[in-house]
Amino acid sequence: MSCKVILSKEISSSYREELKATIKSRGIKPKLVGFLANEDPSAIKYAESTSKTCEETGVVFELRKCDKEQLEDQIIEANDDDSIHGIMVYYPVFGDRQDQYLQNVVSVSKDVEGLCHKYIYNMYHNKRFLDEKQTMKCILPCTPLAIVKVLEYIGVYNAVLPYGNRLHGRVITIINRSEIVGRPLAALLANDGGKVYSVDINNVQEFHRGTGLKLKRHEVRDTNLKIEEILPVSDVVVTGVPTPSYKVPTGSLRDGVIAINFSAFKNFEDNIKEKASIYVPAIGKVTIAMLERNLLRLYDYYNCQSS
Ligand code: NAD
């Protein structure tokens, strides 16, 4: 077996070191507030890891537990508090469209998760900067961004190609099309030149920029393809199915596939290492590093430009 298993700690370490050094050398105290209004064990675990990583890197992190009915008012209060530079909410709260509403209650200037309409719109439209002079990069949703960083780390992004086209020729399957992770990730990877098969419980869609990347931003089409047809032709398979029983059949995967799991459950079978060239079993630490990176960007863009 020649599979290389890469842990998220390894991938995130250079980002954590850079964050730590920047915060220390500039003598700043960026503050992140996380709102926990549910009892979801994954959310609680995520909040604990965020707290630990923030402490290590020098970010001030405050977890505020509240009743979901009070959450909106609490977010508004945090929006108006100049001592807070970033706000995040542990979803799901209501588990429906009300969560989307709450994502837009968070001020654009404090949205470390990159989930408000402005950032999501820019991402889908492949608009990479917030200003005309192209000095302020857009904030990207942190879990999809973390997966981009994982793909960069393991060399799926081809640095010889121009920025923006570095996934040209790669075929990537993403099994998850949630609005928080799977769909934005498919769009990001297709905008970067990849051919992406996006799988959800209902169907397979293809996200791409056309032959020779002739389109400026991705387009999407429904397909009649079955997952068994796309797995053997995929260079990379990214999974995020939130059920313990779901397993990608190793037998259907291409020899040498790159397998990345972001679900809280192991979506690959135990024998994945017999087929994969690289296996990334979890990405949580990279997500938190991206959260902190977004926080520092927002700190500079909107909050404390004079400090
Ligand atoms: P979700 O419930 O919103 O979405 C699940 C997606 O999986 C949907 O698109 C659904 O259609 C698809 N799906 C479900 N069963 C399927 C099947 N049998 N075949 C194909 N597709 C199927 O969940 P979510 O918010 O996207 O989270 C998914 C998982 O990722 C969870 O385990 C969550 O804890 C984890 N997560 C991890 C991070 C991280 O940074 N590590 C961040 C966010 C979410």
pLDDT in tens, 198-221: 999 999 999 999 999 999 999 999
How much distance in Å is there from the Cα of 178 to the middle of ligand 1? 6
Residue 305 has pLDDT above 80, yes or no: no
User: 198-201, long-range: CB within 8 Å, 24+ apart, which pairs?
Assistant: 198/174, 199/173, 199/174, 199/175, 199/227, 199/230, 200/175, 200/176
Q: Do domains 26-108 and 143-285 have the same CATH topology?
A: yes
Which CATH number is correct for 26-108, 1.20.120.1750, 1.20.1080.10, 3.40.50.10860, 2.70.98.30?
3.40.50.10860
Task: Determine the atom of ligand 1 nearest the C-alpha atom of 177.
Answer: 9
Q: Is 127 exposed, middle or buried (0-12, 13-18, 19+ CB in 10 A)?
A: middle
Pocket mutation for ligand 1, best pick of 90, 173, 181, 267 (most atoms within 8 Å of C-beta): 181
Q: Is 160 exposed, middle or buried (0-12, 13-18, 19+ CB in 10 A)?
A: exposed
pLDDT band at 303 (very low <50, low <70, confident <90, very high): confident
How much distance in Å is there from the Cα of 251 to the middle of ligand 1? 22
Ligand 1, atom 21: closest residue by C-alpha: 200
- Catalytic residue, candidates 54, 116, 138, 142: 142
Pocket mutation for ligand 1, best pick of 140, 176, 180, 286 (most atoms within 8 Å of C-beta): 176
Domain ranges of the chain: 26-108, 143-285
User: What's residue 307's pLDDT?
Assistant: 47
How much distance in Å is there from the Cα of 243 to the middle of ligand 1? 8
* 111-129 tens-digit pLDDT: 999 999 999 999 999 899 9
* 162-191 tens-digit pLDDT: 999 999 999 999 999 999 999 999 999 999
Q: Is 54 a catalytic residue?
A: no
Q: Does domain 143-285 have CATH number 3.40.50.620?
A: no
Contact 244, 265 (CB under 8 A): yes
- What ipTM goes with this model? 0.96
How much distance in Å is there from the Cα of 132 to the middle of ligand 1? 35
